[in-house]
Amino acid sequence: MTEHQLHLRAPGNWINDPNGFIYYKGKYHLFYQYFPYAPAWATMHWGHAISSDLVNWTHQEIALYPSKYWDKNGCFSGSAVQENGKLYIYYTGVRYEEITKEDIHHCVNEQFESSQMMITSNDGIHFDNFKDKKLIIPPIVDASLGHRTHTRDPKVWKSEDYYYMVLGSTLDEKKGILLFYRSSDKENWEYLNSYESEDPSFGWMWECPDLYQTEEGWVVCLSPMGFLKDGDKEQNHAICAEAEFDEQTGTLKMAETYQFADYGLDLYAPQSTLDEEGRRVVVGWMRMPRPVSDEKPWIGMMCTPRVAELRDHHIYYRMHPNVEKAFTKEISQVEELEAGKPYQLKIALDDGESLSLGGYEIYRKGNKIGTNREKVYEGITNCRLSFETPELRENARLNILVDRNLVEVYVNDGEYVISNIVYDLKEDISLPEGKKFILKQMCN
């Protein structure tokens, strides 16, 4: 089976959203939206990868695929929980009402309906797509509640005697909304409440919601569609914010201020789980504008897992300790780096300083960190090339991971992160003269 180190990527063809991320029976399971026949979005399946350490990943057989009336045209995103050794998967099933006659993998003018479904597994590997799928929430017909087409991506968690579910939806394709449900048996769900923002700029539909507790409070994550006006285009981006949530009533209050989940703006649809130490860990899909033309073309990959923490009303996304520990080979000179292998660079930048990693530029201007990928994004149009953090709370300490198609810049131990997809990275490295740095590489 295909294995990947550091960054889980498509085993060929297409992947997008992380799904069903969970630590189960001593292994990390990460499912993902998958089209196995071409490097393009189409009829969604669930791919599946397993890791013992969040660094080394092995792809498994396809876990979910269309097999029922309700999911005949796709198994959209969802999540996983476990109880008594059994794995419960929740996802959105899609049924097209009119298909494109020359391409059965696409519908006409988004004429489809969405249902919420579940399937179970006793080992996390084997799923009976024909006998075990169940419809748990049918398509919404009350337009004042949500949307028949655009209601999806169930995130489920347990708290005391109940299981809770949050769904992303829209009101009349004009305003995003979250829908909350509750269940005592994981199968029969009752509507509990909803939340919508009073800010009209928060996108027309809220995809891939996530809601979780940290030591200092609740955090809510959304991927609003049409959230950011980027020139003439409306872009979908992942945001997060501190929140208050009453589980008994399903009442959510979201802070007025928000953060991007990642300031490189390539990351989308992040999903969290608890790791084996009880830390809240987040993984997100890194969107790619074109396939990588290897022996088997592929498109789509995941960022490195990050530990989410709320501190002083700010959400930190710290590099997971397992990722940090994976870089064991110390390099004294940049010329000693082994070509083609991921590496880690730690360095602090003063105002006005910059560095170049194979053509990818990182700089400090005032109290912000910025990046520019123009030299490693050639031929790609209508995409942002430069990015920057908000004002930093402290000095600019950088912990940078460089891989073939992805650079992740952790600033001040996760105060902000800038992650950028890149193409055709060169081998040369240029650092500020006389600057101290720590350079490491993976050994295997």
Q: Does domain 328-442 have CATH number 3.20.20.70?
A: no
Q: What's the DSSP call for residue 74?
A: -
Domain ranges of the chain: 3-322, 328-442
Would you state the structure tokens that stand for residue 79, as one six-digit string? 């999540």
- At residue 345, the pLDDT reads 98
Q: DSSP readout, 248-295?
A: TTTEEEE-S--EES-TTS-EEEEEEEE-TTS-EEEEEEE--SS-B-SS
Q: DSSP readout, 165-198?
A: EEEEEEETTTEEEEEEEEESSSSS-EEEEEE--S
- At residue 116, the pLDDT reads 98
* Whether 361 contacts 381, CB under 8 Å: no
Instruction: Give the bridge partners for 307, in sequence order.
Output: 281, 318
What is the pLDDT tens value at each position of the chain, 444 positions in all? Answer: 679 999 999 999 999 999 999 999 999 999 999 999 999 999 999 999 999 999 999 999 999 999 999 999 999 999 999 999 999 999 999 999 999 899 999 999 999 999 999 999 999 999 999 999 999 999 999 999 999 999 999 999 999 999 999 999 999 999 999 999 999 999 999 999 999 988 878 999 999 999 999 999 999 999 999 998 776 677 899 999 999 999 999 999 999 999 999 999 999 999 999 999 999 999 999 999 999 998 899 999 999 999 999 999 999 999 999 999 999 999 989 888 988 899 999 999 999 999 999 999 999 999 999 999 999 999 998 889 999 999 998 889 999 999 999 999 999 999 999 999 999 999 999 999 989 999 999 986
For 131, residues 6+ apart whose C-beta sits below 8 A from its C-beta are none
- At residue 444, the pLDDT reads 67
- At residue 297, the pLDDT reads 96
* Whether 132 contacts 154, CB under 8 Å: no
- At residue 199, the pLDDT reads 83
pTM for this entry: 0.97
- At residue 382, the pLDDT reads 83
- At residue 198, the pLDDT reads 82
* Rounded Cα–Cα distance for residues 314 and 297 (Å): 39
Q: Could you please state the CATH topology (level 3) that the domain comprising 3-322 is classified under.
A: Tachylectin-2; Chain A (2.115.10)
Quick one: which of 36, 93, 79 has its CA closest to 59? 36
